[in-house]
Structure 1
Amino acid sequence: MSFYLSLDDVPDLARGAAILGTGGGGDPLIGRLLVEECLKNGKKIEILDPTEIDDDDFVIATAMMGAPTVVVEKVPAGSEAVRSLRALEKHLGKTADATIPMECGGLNSMIPLVVAAEAGIPVVDGDGMGRAFPELQMETFGVYGVSGSPLAVSDENGHTCIVDTGQDNQRMETFARAVTIKMGGAAYIAEYPMSGADVKRTAIRNTVTLALNIGRTLRKAKDKHLDPLAELSAFLKDTIYGHGTVLMRGKIVDVERFVRDGFTQGFATVESFDGGHEMRIQFRNENVIAHKNGAVVAIVPDLITIVDVDLGTPITSEALRFGQRVAVYGISTPAIMRTPEALQVFGPQAFGLHEPWVALEELSAAR
């Protein structure tokens, strides 16, 4: 069912979105502050259930694009993505009836909320990634036939660019990435213009509500002095994700991080508290693979999130530091992200990984 977001909802939503962001998607705190400012100023944000949109409604996805580490230094004003929305509307000669998140993780779960508040349109409760991914073609919208372009890109200086590569979503990503780099490494986009019928067919449904409920679960566990990750695993059993598990607890002993080609990339190494196990996690904005003692324990598109071991609060890629006490937590992906056509777009080979995808629940059972 549709609902209006309250000010009290925002911290929970940001927390849950950071879990689903798998280390990427941008710092959710920045997005949280932007959304809270909108609500404090009396603006309304309606979260619209996908079943309640009309088939002929016009929906545009909005998001941040670029390296999350750059956003920490180049904080958005909040108007950039709205400018992209308006530029794309003008280019297409159509006005959006709603916006939808490109991804449900990190800052990019928040940007569409700001757009909705400023533009006076609802946010569809769903997204195109079910987590965060680093590239624009890695969306279920595109996997199931929606063209990502034309796309509008805007920066904080008021510059806007239209990218149109027809049906070639991979080339759209390449061109938009080049523009984003020229805009300083972080920009704001409007993309995947589509009908309400397309949304119903291609979106991962109700992931905004999912993120909100994940955040609530973690907060309530902390308030009741319960194990937050055990509570999260219990909650996920009744969702389309189905399976969540702790992969290892320990201390971060090494972080290698750099920005290359518009992405925050690198590795984090975690040593178990007893010193008997080592986990190496590779990230490209998001965490994409985890090896424990040399064996794969989780691999993209399944979710790998690093959280504070005591609080269950997620830690983004740009915030990883030597000495942090963490738990590495895995979440399985929903069925719409496991099809052969989906894995072709955002399976392991799309990240240059040579290991095959094996479902998290299978890897967990084999441990």
Structure 2
Amino acid sequence: MKLNSEQLCDLAVGAAFLGTGGGGNPYVGRLMVQQCLDEGLTVEIIDPKELKDDALVIPTAMMGAPTVLVEKIPSGDEAISSLRRLERHLGRTAHATMPIEIGGINSTIPLVVGARMGLPIVDADGMGRAFPFLEMETFGVYGISGSPLAISDEYGDGAIINAVDNRQMEWLARAIAIRMGGSAYIAEYAMSGADVKRTAVPNTMTLAIRIGAVLRKARAEHRNAFDALLGFLPSTLYRYGKLIFSGKMIDVHRETKNGFSIGRARIEGLAPFSSVMEIEIQNENLVARVDGKVRAIVPDLICIMNTETAEPITSEELRYGQRVTVLAVSVPEIMRSPEALDVFGPACFGLKEPFTPIEEIA
């Protein structure tokens, strides 16, 4: 599949939705990819099934606090530098790149890398959404090492990290990203085509494009965009979604701490909803509660959207007074296994509540 400008716009919207508030604003990444298209470069997205089993795939991404991207805009060369640095370290050349997460800007960084390096981008990722920690990958859950990891900034600084496990890799890389100004660009989880097919959440880039298209067409046809999206999800790996709250944003607390965007959002309900919903945030929306009762919890998606436009709202864009609608969406089964919940379930974020699928929450 050769990506065009309309699909790129749809991808940015769909990735913001799947990012559950995190992953960085895809607007900046969309402009970077559009520049590649304007220069006549090709952005080729391939199905994981097209990979040869022995092909080397090196995912690329941004890491750090999404709020930093409001002022610290990437050039696009940083992630390329990391991929090349990792290739030199491994003594091998990548056959393809891919996202580590489908949320936000990290859905578009690999597109820039692929376009400028002449590499295809695999239609899959390792989170099926966005998570704040690098070890929170289905790749790692099912046996792939994130190390060696290459990290670079906009000044040409860079490093290779070899860690004893993926959690230690995250801890070391986070410290470097903080000293690089709160965000940096990485290449990690180098793996074979066979491992991509075994461990990745498949076809999430084309899913993001389809989500964006559903919302765009519903608005153009003056249909209810939320109903259109909820009606579409059962045909995907995500299977189930529901509207869990609607109201006015009455409080947003946000700070950048230890390389993450930490905060909470409070939404005052509008009919037919009452009371107040509070959402805890660590880059992404982790848990949504009403009167202390959980309505959705990680790893299931909690998506805050503009009530009037049905546009997803990233965590750094939340503002007092916004009219918002909150959707909850089930994640694929590969992300709900006991092994997966041990890596990115509620307890991994310090939450006391156990994971309960949104289908089972009244």
Instruction: Give 1:215's match in structure 2, choosing from 194, 212, 217.
Output: 212
CA shift for structure 1 position 245: 1.1
- Matched residue, 1:290: 288
Matched, 1:146 2:144: yes
Distance 2:71 2:342 in 1: 34
* Alignment equivalent of 2:265, drawn from 265, 268, 291: 268
Q: How does 1:339-354 map to 2 (within 5 A)?
A: 339-354=337-352
Matched, 1:102 2:100: yes
1:258 aligns with 2:261: no
Correspondence for 1:87 among 85, 88, 111: 85
Q: Could you say which residue in structure 2 is the equivalent of 1:181? A: 178
Q: 1:295 deviation in Å?
A: 0.5
Tell me which of 96, 110, 113 is aligned to 1:112: 110
Equivalence for 1:196? 193
2:148 & 2:140 partners in 1: Cα distance?
Answer: 13
Equivalent residue for 1:126, pick from 124, 139, 142 = 124
> Secondary structure at 1:290's aligned position in 2?
strand
Deviations 1:212-268 (A, max 9, x none): 000000000100111111100110011010011111110000001001110001000
Q: Specify the SS of the correspondent of 2:98.
A: strand
**Structure 2, unaligned runs of 5 or more:** none
**Secondary structure, aligned partner of 1:247:** strand
Q: Which residue of 1 aligns with 2:231?
A: 234
Mapped to 1, the partners of 2:8 and 2:98 lie a distance apart of: 17
Tell me the percent identity: 57
Q: Which amino acid aligns with 1:25?
A: G
Candidates 162, 165, 169, aligned match of 2:166:
169
| Alignment partner of 1:319 out of 300, 317, 320 | 317
Moved over 2 A (4+): none
**SS of corresponding position for 1:101:** coil
Match of 1:5 in 2: 3
Looking at structure 1, the residues matched to 131 and 22 of structure 2 have their Cα atoms a distance apart, in angstroms, of: 8
Shift of 1:293: 2.0
- Matched position secondary structure for 2:130: coil
> Could you tell me how far 1:16 is from its partner in structure 2?
0.3
2:74 alignment counterpart: 76
Q: Which among 42, 46, 59 is matched to residue 61 of structure 1? A: 59
Task: Report the TM-score, using the length of structure 2 for normalisation.
Answer: 0.99
Please name the residue that 2:20 is paired with: 22
SS for the counterpart of 1:301 is coil
Partner of 1:224: 221
Which residue is equivalent to 1:249? 246
RMSD over aligned Cα, in angstroms?
Answer: 0.7
Matched letter for residue 172 of structure 2: F
Alpha-carbon distance, 1:306 to partner:
0.5
SS at match of 1:355: coil
**Larger CA deviation: 14-23 vs 224-233:** 224-233
Distance apart, 1:141 and its partner CA: 0.3
Instruction: Give the paired residue count.
Output: 361
